[in-house]
Structure 1
Amino acid sequence: MIELLQSGAYLVNGRELIADGPEAQQAVCSRTGRNTTKEEAVKQTISYRILESHNTSGNMEKLKIRFDKLTSHDITFVGIIQTARASGLQKFPMPYVLTNCHNSLCAVGGTINEDDHMFGLSCAKKYGGIYVPPHQAVIHQYAREMLSGGGQMILGSDSHTRYGALGTMAVGEGGPELVKQLLNQTYDINRPEVVCVYLEGAPVSGVGPQDVALAIIGAVFKNGYVKNKVMEFVGPGVASLSADFRIGIDVMTTETTCLSSVWETDREIEEFYEIHGRKEDYRELVPGDVTYYDGVVKVNLSKVRPMIAMPFHPSNTYTIEELNANLLEILDETEKRAKVSLGDAKTIDGSPLELHLKDKVKNGKFVVDQGIIAGCAGGGFENICAAADILKGKSIGSDSFTLSVYPASMPVYMELVKNGCAAALMETGAVMKTAFCGPCFGAGDTPANNAFSIRHSTRNFPNREGSKLQNGQISSVALMDARSIAATAANRGILTPATEFDGEIGKYKYHFDSKIYANRVFDSKGKADPDAEIQLGPNIKDWPEMGALPENLLLQVVSEIHDPVTTTDELIPSGETSSYRSNPLGLAEFTLSRKDPEYVGRAKEIQKAEKARMGGEHPCQVLPVLKELMGVIKKQYPEANHSNTGFGSTIFAVKPGDGSAREQAASCQKVLGGWANIANEYATKRYRSNLINWGMLPFLIKEGELPFRNLDYLFLPDIRRAVEEKADTITACVVGKDELKTFELRLGELTDEERQIILEGCLINYNRV
């Protein structure tokens, strides 16, 4: 089904792969009749050519990218625009779309969410942007329909910013990277490696895009095969896939931890642009005659079978047939894995919180409680039409099982109404809802305690379904394709692969109705109105003052996390906390609340010292323990004192930052006085970038070396000079009762701009200088 080459490879004429090795170039020459160097072949990827056309540095090894367009939604655009305003924003320099698909319900926090929406509309008017009202479209569907373009690049503040199937290289990053673009700065990265995803064969009936995506994620996530690289989809199998099918695979590439993705394009994609009235945005993209890739993922589409990703990660994959054949064994493994994620969480009566999945086996069958088809991954036209065909004439039953369907945009919904698929679904007992991302991040359709939800959505991390560990509630999500969710619904909750459906899944012609957006979306056409007044609600707050990096730092370790991976959902929970995303201090109260409830109090305690220092007071007066600590430090570093030493917090996590691009995973630590993270590695580039842009030091320590423990104090002498002088290693000390125990940290590679941002204390300060 999936094969990973352990070397790079040449692709000849877009179809023949030749693994790299001593004989590779000779083999390429015999096929083509000419000698091609690896350096020349590297430049023939689709990815290289797109990056080259957007690079402003003149050096293809050190890229400085300017994007064509930007996208954000309503739990990110307020903070982004507020940051840019604090740095002197006058006008959006490129098309910038503000969608309202995350806090659409306005159900939590009263008017808080709608205030954010009105802020977005007023900013679109003032700065020349595009505003998409709630329930009209999820962010990525609108971008596919209205923004994408062959050979273009789009930067979005949502991690699933992926439009590669349409020939657009898109990147999901934290908000500060969008701020840089708004301020005419650049996205700075080393040239990424490019991995070929070579597709062959064609999917069998009942297999959908989520099945292919999960098979790939299961093969590449844990080994980091594509981490921070670009996935380039090519090969004869591409032609067997519709545009919707390709889009459904492409959006899930985020879960591999790749940087971006792009596909070869053909008549199928040209027709997509024609349907959406944008034929001029199509561009044929194919690799060169001889192209070199840094790795190869070979996918035999014909062998893919309906998949399921068990809690709590999209890489915990099995075929549904495999799960059904080994139910108790796999469910037991899943429960054991869940204990790692749940940690010390307790029920309300104080007993350990446990996930019970084996209880759902009835008469040898696995019975699930809920089905959801939604969002940028599941809410596409073809997915919902296929689900309607599988469920047509059936009933989901009148027991506890429920099925909700969220079309990804109002134009998709309209076409489902016109072709009868919406009616077919509603007749079964399924509920049709409007375009909303809530089920993907825990703000809609929260199941009952210990219920099991199957979803065609993007993630199944802990709490992504909305349960609250701190209240003793746990439920869980497995990822599946819409087709198998429909087959399960037709079987009234008994887990069923869609390959068991013996009816016909039809092909439906899609007609895009542009009048829906023309009648409702505000589009400034790039024209700013400086006289427009920004509408601010009471929950929209400015960023608090943040100081520059001092000469020395004294940090307390206030959380220690040893999970193999820590997600951004665990660093700052999603769901109901989203209502406070426009209020930095209000949101910070939820930091690590579902992973380490003691974190916020501990961070605030040490932050008192820094606030006192910044205010001209002596830190020891508000935190007496510092007097003893500074006494120990002065024995070895007599120049250290309260005026040249900053005080704050840090956390240790093995591999933090998997998942969402949300900058708040870092900014919430910063506003609580965080100066650093310490990790064995960072799960994604975007999380590390968020740390840097909020002035936090992204320290690395070797696996197995941990000379400190939670609540220890760490002294970093001359840290400012070390950053200025580009030191490879950083001296750090554990402050004991009578002595300092020295150890080493690393900062990893930093650009000159990133170092300056850290020195100034954050991106806002950097742009004010």
Structure 2
Amino acid sequence: MVRLLEQGAYLVDGKHVVVEGAGAKAAELAGRPVSREEARKGTISWSILEAHNTSGAMERLKIRFDALTSHDITYVSIIQTARASGLESFPLPYVLTNCHNSLCAVGGTINEDDHLFGLSAARKYGGIYVPAHMAVIHMYMREAMAGCGKMILGSDSHTRYGALGTLAVGEGGGELVKQLLGQTYDIAYPRVVGVYLTGKPRPGVGPQDVALAVIGAVFNSGYVKNSIMEFVGDGVSNLSADYRCGVDVMTTETACLSSIWRTDGNVKDFLAAHGRSGDFRELNPGKVAWYDGMVMVDLAAVKPMIALPFHPSNAMEIERFNENSGDILREVERSAAELLGNTKAKFSLTGKLEKGRLRVDQGIIAGCSGGTYTNVMAAASLLKGKSTGSGEFSLSVYPSSQPVLLELVKNGTITELMMAGAVVRTAFCGPCFGAGDVPASGSLSIRHTTRNFPNREGSKPGEGQIAAVALMDARSIAATAANGGFLTPATDLDPAEERWEYHFDDTPYRNRVYSGFGSPDSGTPLVFGPNIADWPEMPPLPDHLLLKVVSFITDPVTTTDELIPSGETASFRSNPLGLAEFTLSRKDPSYVGKAKEVRAFAKALAEGKAPGEISPELEEVLSALGAVPGFGEISLKSVSLASAVYARKPGDGSAREQAASCQRVLGGGANIAREYATKRYRSNLINWGMVPFLLHGDPSFSAGSWIFIPGIRQAMERGEMEFSAYVAGKGSFEKITLETGVLTEDERAVILAGSLINYNRERKS
């Protein structure tokens, strides 16, 4: 089904995969000498990156994108940051969608206040504004913006339009701010991993099944981490463009940087159907292309899949699960107990087994992954003439855009779904992050959405509320719904071949979307609601830094959802200090209070108070550090205090910059990790002025430890990547080495300035 080559590979003529070390064979097939250096230029990725690179050196890319996109829990802070840095107008198309806080049901008026701010910003700066319920962010970008050879940057981690020939990247808001200010996206040339598709999926196997099979094969090994996944092979042409988009959007869950697919007549037809024939061009690898790895996927061998809680990589065939469901669920419960720790919640799934079959409580088909036209059509065809039942099980369907919904209404599909008992809703991302169709405690929800991390369905383990999500394809969700909620693969229902024609009608967009790119009106006032606040001042990197580790997390991976919860907290993302109150609230509820205490210590020390006046603990720490060589020559006025978080591998999942900025506004100065789960989380730390430290091996410190890094500013200015640090003990200290990895000149400058806002202010002055 999915096989990973242990080495890199050449691809010759788009169809011959030749493993590393077989250069002679590749040369024979190509009819000329080949080299890895030259062949790497044969990838689709190289050609697109080269066209967008402004550095003149492909090893160190400085990218300018063709368009930007954000939704309503990220665009306010991005525009506020850019505005504080001197923004005058949007220099490239910037799409503001409203698909996350669409319900306007949490926090009083503040969600709709954000929407009015977004519309006023689109008018003032020349943006594109998509009102609530019109489209989920990524469906709109597929329909209206993506095109072959383009690059798009979005502030949502699932910014992936590779199936339409667009290299798209999901990043924290700071990277979008840079583009708005005419700066660049700076990265080393990434690894490019081929995904070679052969065969054709059997009826009943959907894009989520293919995606979960790939994620399950590559995630834990980090095979494609921070790489571009390039989809090639003759199997690509056996997938419709809509189907490809469903696989493509899930590549984010592999921890890759971006994705790109070869394009063909199916993509040409898709773009033509959306009135954008001019955005098509055929993209294929060159005669010889070199890939740093190769994922071999036999589409015909893929079966309906399920990703069990609490990660998309926890994937297996539904058939295999049903054969051994008891043992598998007991292992999930054991893992959940470790993950949840000492909470009030009692997590159990084995109680849902009835005669060895798992009965689920809820089904959801929604968003950029599940709510596409062909997914909804497939689900409706399996439910036609059947019933979802009148018991606990419920099914909700969220078409991904108004044009998709309009076509489903015209062809009668919505009628079929409603007749079967499904509830049809508008375009909304809520079920993907815990703000829509939140199930009851103890429930298991099967969802064709993008993630099933803990609490993504809206539960609060600290308050005794716990539910869980398993990811599945819309087809098997419909089959399960038709079978009384008992877990059922779609292939059991003998589904027919999928052949549905789509007629795109953009009338809803023409009548409601504000398209102001190129026509900014600087006189338009921004509309501020009471929850929209400016960023507080953030200090520059001090000469000497004293960190207190206020949270110590030893989980294998820490998600951004755990660093700053999703769900109802989304309403406060326009208020930096208000949102910060939720930092780590579901992972380490004591974090906020401890971080504030360190912040108070820092303020008192900066005001000239003696350590003993501030805290006996601080006095003891400084006394222990007194034995550090050269410490006696350091003035306390040049020492700044800050809090720090230690986690083994933080930052998996969402691109939300608030996972970092919330720590910063509470006085955070650094993260310390074995590695960072994603490039985007590390970038978020940097853009908010926090040092992304790396520590090899097990730490000698713990929660509550103090770590002193003398001369950090000068070392950072010199471009050093290793820093001598001292862990304060009772009356003694221990020397350790912290590293940052490679930082670009601009990244070091941002850390030195204390934040991207400070950096841009300094440049402007």
What range is the shorter-chain TM-score in?
Answer: over 0.9
Q: 1:703-754 CA distances to partner (integer Å, 9 max, x unpaired)?
A: 3x21101111111111111211122311111112212211111111100100
Asked whether 1:570 is paired with 2:562, we answer yes
CA contact (8 A) 2:620 2:731 kept: no
Which one of 64, 67, 77 corresponds to residue 66 of structure 1? Answer: 64
- Matches of 1:505 and 1:370 in 2, distance apart? 27
CA contact (8 A) 1:242 1:268 kept: yes
Correspondences of 1:37-436 after superposition (within 5 Å): 37-346=35-344, 353-436=345-428
Aligned CA distance change for structure 1 residues 176 and 247 (closer, same or farther; 3 Å): same
CA contact (8 A) 1:374 1:407 kept: yes
SS of alignment partner, residue 43 of structure 1: helix
CA contact (8 A) 1:390 1:505 kept: no
1:654 counterpart letter in structure 2: R
Residue of structure 1 in register with 2:448 after alignment: 456
Q: 1:584-616 CA distances to partner (integer Å, 9 max, x unpaired)?
A: 000000000000000000000010022334556
- Matches of 1:84 and 1:424 in 2, distance apart? 47
- Matches of 1:565 and 1:640 in 2, distance apart? 38
Residue of structure 2 in register with 1:642 after alignment: 636
2:670 counterpart letter in structure 1: A
Asked whether 1:665 is paired with 2:659, we answer yes
- Matches of 1:615 and 1:699 in 2, distance apart? 28
Asked whether 1:764 is paired with 2:757, we answer yes
2:456 counterpart letter in structure 1: R
CA contact (8 A) 2:219 2:254 kept: yes
Structure 1 residue 385 displacement after superposition: 0.2
Asked whether 1:491 is paired with 2:489, we answer no
For structure 1, which segment, 694-703 or 457-466, has the greater mean C-alpha deviation from structure 2 after superposition? 694-703
Which one of 732, 735, 740 corresponds to residue 742 of structure 1? Answer: 735
Which one of 710, 715, 727 corresponds to residue 708 of structure 2? Answer: 715
SS of alignment partner, residue 637 of structure 2: coil
2:636 counterpart letter in structure 1: H
- Matches of 1:462 and 1:354 in 2, distance apart? 14
- Matches of 2:298 and 2:546 in 1, distance apart? 54
1:61 counterpart letter in structure 2: E
CA contact (8 A) 1:217 1:314 kept: yes
Structure 1 residue 505 displacement after superposition: 5.0
Aligned CA distance change for structure 1 residues 620 and 685 (closer, same or farther; 3 Å): farther
Aligned CA distance change for structure 1 residues 620 and 142 (closer, same or farther; 3 Å): farther
Structure 1 residue 345 displacement after superposition: 1.5
Residue of structure 2 in register with 1:350 after alignment: none
SS of alignment partner, residue 636 of structure 2: coil
Unaligned runs of 5+ in 2: none
Q: 1:96-120 CA distances to partner (integer Å, 9 max, x unpaired)?
A: 0000000000100000000000000
Name the Cα RMSD after superposition. 1.1
Residue of structure 2 in register with 1:349 after alignment: none
Residue of structure 2 in register with 1:592 after alignment: 584
SS of alignment partner, residue 14 of structure 1: coil
Structure 1 residue 37 displacement after superposition: 1.7
- Matches of 1:411 and 1:33 in 2, distance apart? 49
Q: 1:497-544 CA distances to partner (integer Å, 9 max, x unpaired)?
A: 000012435422111111110100001132111100000001000000
Asked whether 1:467 is paired with 2:459, we answer yes
- Matches of 1:620 and 1:409 in 2, distance apart? 61
Aligned CA distance change for structure 1 residues 486 and 181 (closer, same or farther; 3 Å): same
- Matches of 1:238 and 1:536 in 2, distance apart? 47
SS of alignment partner, residue 157 of structure 2: coil
Q: 1:387-420 CA distances to partner (integer Å, 9 max, x unpaired)?
A: 0000000000000000000000000000000111
- Matches of 1:92 and 1:491 in 2, distance apart? 51
Structure 1 residue 29 displacement after superposition: 2.0
Percent sequence identity over aligned pairs: 62
Residue of structure 2 in register with 1:692 after alignment: 686
Which one of 423, 431, 454 corresponds to residue 439 of structure 1? Answer: 431
Residue of structure 2 in register with 1:4 after alignment: 4
2:464 counterpart letter in structure 1: G
- Matches of 2:137 and 2:377 in 1, distance apart? 21
1:36 counterpart letter in structure 2: V
CA contact (8 A) 1:619 1:626 kept: yes
For structure 1, which segment, 227-236 or 635-644, has the greater mean C-alpha deviation from structure 2 after superposition? 635-644
CA contact (8 A) 2:308 2:471 kept: yes
- Matches of 2:371 and 2:696 in 1, distance apart? 42
1:224 counterpart letter in structure 2: G
SS of alignment partner, residue 464 of structure 1: coil
SS of alignment partner, residue 626 of structure 2: helix
CA contact (8 A) 1:657 1:682 kept: yes
1:449 counterpart letter in structure 2: S
For structure 1, which segment, 7-16 or 214-223, has the greater mean C-alpha deviation from structure 2 after superposition? 7-16
Which one of 702, 712, 729 corresponds to residue 696 of structure 2? Answer: 702
1:468 counterpart letter in structure 2: K
- Matches of 2:735 and 2:757 in 1, distance apart? 33
- Matches of 1:88 and 1:611 in 2, distance apart? 29
Which one of 719, 723, 746 corresponds to residue 753 of structure 1? Answer: 746
For structure 1, which segment, 707-716 or 31-40, has the greater mean C-alpha deviation from structure 2 after superposition? 31-40
2:343 counterpart letter in structure 1: A
SS of alignment partner, residue 171 of structure 1: strand
Residue of structure 1 in register with 2:504 after alignment: 512
- Matches of 1:623 and 1:764 in 2, distance apart? 32
Q: 1:399-447 CA distances to partner (integer Å, 9 max, x unpaired)?
A: 0000000000000000000111111000011000000000000001111
CA contact (8 A) 1:610 1:619 kept: no
Aligned CA distance change for structure 1 residues 612 and 527 (closer, same or farther; 3 Å): farther
1:129 counterpart letter in structure 2: G
For structure 1, which segment, 619-628 or 561-570, has the greater mean C-alpha deviation from structure 2 after superposition? 619-628
The aligned length equals 760
1:331 counterpart letter in structure 2: L
| TM-score normalised to structure 2 length | 0.98
1:647 counterpart letter in structure 2: L
Q: 1:335-379 CA distances to partner (integer Å, 9 max, x unpaired)?
A: 111123212212xxxxxx331010000122110000000000000
1:530 counterpart letter in structure 2: S
- Matches of 2:705 and 2:608 in 1, distance apart? 26
Structure 1 residue 624 displacement after superposition: 4.5
CA contact (8 A) 1:389 1:506 kept: no
CA contact (8 A) 1:196 1:234 kept: yes
